[in-house]
Structure 1
Amino acid sequence: MSHQVSIVGQITPDQVPVIAENGFKTIINNRPDGEEPGQPTSADIAAAAKKAGLAYKEISFAGSDLNQTHVEDFADFFNQAEQPVLIFCRSGARSTGIYEAAKKMDLLDD
């Protein structure tokens, strides 16, 4: 099975219905709350995801703080998540990093 993944920068709660309309089934958030003023909270995005019928998981970490636990938590959730999956952080770089780390460690199901 090939992964159906899109990695993007910060999303907002009002974008979640459009994300659902575009066929996504799961959202993974890699951005901690409070990184910058006005940033949507994980709770607000989670509520929008639930309302839109999407699965949601926060696996947040500061840019330089990615560790094995984050990667394993990500892989455990990703492997059981309904695809396609939208993964986001501030710019997409963190999300790309955790996804690539999980692939490199062979933690993602094929």
Structure 2
Amino acid sequence: MKLAEVSNRFAVAPQLRPEDIQELADAGFGTVICNRPDGEEAGQPAIERMRDAAEKAGLAFHHIPVSGGEFPPAAIRAFGRVREEADRKVLAYCRSGTRSIMLDALANTERLSAEQRIANAREAGYDLSPMRARLGEEQR
């Protein structure tokens, strides 16, 4: 399992498997967010299997799917709400981790500047510089 730490309270990952979930709990995570639509790709574990694995490991599980490069305001708000209400570390995943880190940058629960969010993403291995203008707008 490949995790990219974005902050001390948030990480992203590419597609997880049910067998990865206990390792997250052991590492101090309390919440998992899946940002993939169920059945997006052949071989992707079903959401219910992932939810069951999370619940068995004592983790909260949230499904906030986004696709096609679209980040609807309702998805951004839902993602932000989960991040703000989490009492332990949060891990969000999608196919590559990119949608998850974009949602986090748009939700901006840590109230960071656009440049700081871009820098944090870069340190985690993701390039959000094409979103600079939109991230700047989200601060207003």
* More helix by percentage: 2
Aligned mates of 1:20, 1:70 — CA distance in 2: 25
Q: For residues 6-31 of structure 1, give each alpha carbon's deviation from its aligned partner in whole angstroms, at most 9, with x where no partner exists.
A: 11100011110111111111101101
1:11 to 12, 16, 39: 16
User: CA offset at residue 54 of structure 1?
Assistant: 0.4
TM-score norm. by structure 2 comes to: 0.70
| SS of equivalent to 1:6 | strand
Which residue is equivalent to 2:54? Answer: 49
Confirm whether residue 33 of structure 1 aligns to residue 38 of structure 2.
yes
Secondary structure of the 1:25 match is strand
- When residues 3 and 72 of structure 1 are mapped into structure 2, their CA distance, relative to the original with a 3 A threshold, is farther
Q: Is 1:65–2:70 an aligned residue pair?
A: yes
The alpha carbon displacement at 1:65 in A equals 2.0
Aligned identity (percent) is 36
Partner of 1:24: 29
Q: Based on CA coordinates, which of the two structures has the bigger radius of gyration? A: 2
CA contact (8 A) 1:5 1:86 kept: yes
Say what the alpha-carbon RMSD is for the aligned residues.
1.4
Pick aligned residue for 1:78 from 83, 89, 93: 83
Structure 1: distance between partners of 2:101 and 2:44: 20
Q: Where do 5+ consecutive residues of structure 1 fail to align?
A: none
Q: CA deviation at 1:63?
A: 3.6
Bigger mean CA deviation after superposition, 49-58 or 72-81: 72-81
Greater displacement, 58-67 / 45-54 = 58-67
TM normalised by structure 1 equals 0.88
SS of aligned partner of 2:29: coil
- The count of aligned residue pairs is 105
Partner of 2:4: none
Query: Which structure is higher in RCO with an 8 Å CA cutoff and minimum separation 6?
Result: 1
Runs of 4+ displaced beyond 2 Å: none
Gaps of at least 5 residues in structure 2 are 1-6, 109-134
